[in-house]
């Protein structure tokens, strides 16, 4: 039975990257969880490059700086950290750079992320690449 929304009810807020967040929640402390959390933060920043999100470039630049500081506190595998830093930096620029950086993160995190999480990253990269083609 479907219960209708009352006329005064708020529309549900979609949760971006639910599979990636769920992976981070399920993963044991350490390795995979750290990678999943760092990837989650990085792709959330990259997702805000999409024009419909409405975040200005100066705001994205400030957020990227704070995210880099946070990322430096994590114990990440050596091959993964540079790709995440590139993605965080690209989140302050244009969609083409962000889409390419997401693809780079997908390549280095493949062994740490499950299929639904990788699918979310692929979808984001596709959206960013499509936005870059429109401009």
CA pair distance 32, 23, nearest whole angstrom: 9
Do 57 and 92 form a contact (C-beta atoms < 8 A)? Answer: yes
What is the chain's percent helix, strand, coil content, to nearest 5? 65, 0, 35
| Model confidence band, residue 101 (pLDDT cutoffs 50, 70, 90) | very high
Domain membership of residue 81 (yes or no) is yes
Supply the range of the domain harboring residue 51: 36-134
Question: In which residue are the tokens 């639904």 written?
Answer: 116
Question: In which residue are the tokens 């690209």 written?
Answer: 90
pTM of the model: 0.87
Query: For the chain, what is the domain count?
Result: 1
Domain membership of residue 53 (yes or no) is yes
Domain membership of residue 31 (yes or no) is no
Domain membership of residue 20 (yes or no) is no
Domain membership of residue 123 (yes or no) is yes
Domain membership of residue 19 (yes or no) is no
Domain membership of residue 119 (yes or no) is yes
State pLDDT tens for residues 44-72: 999 999 988 888 999 999 999 999 999 99
Domain membership of residue 1 (yes or no) is no
State pLDDT tens for residues 14-23: 788 999 999 9
């Amino acid at each position: 039975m479907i219960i209708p929304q009352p006329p005064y009810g708020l529309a549900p807020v979609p949760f971006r990257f639910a599979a990636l967040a769920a992976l981070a929640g399920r993963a044991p402390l350490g390795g995979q969880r750290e990678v999943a959390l760092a990837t989650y933060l990085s792709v959330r920043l990259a997702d805000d490059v999409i024009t419909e999100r409405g975040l200005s470039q100066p705001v994205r630049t400030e957020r990227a700086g704070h995210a880099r500081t946070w990322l430096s506190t994590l114990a990440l595998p050596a091959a993964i950290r540079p790709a995440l830093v590139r993605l965080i930096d690209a989140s302050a620029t244009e969609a083409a750079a962000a889409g390419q950086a997401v693809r780079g993160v997908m390549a280095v995190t493949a062994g740490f992320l499950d299929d639904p999480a990788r699918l979310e990253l692929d979808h984001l990269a596709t959206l960013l690449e499509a936005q870059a083609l429109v401009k």
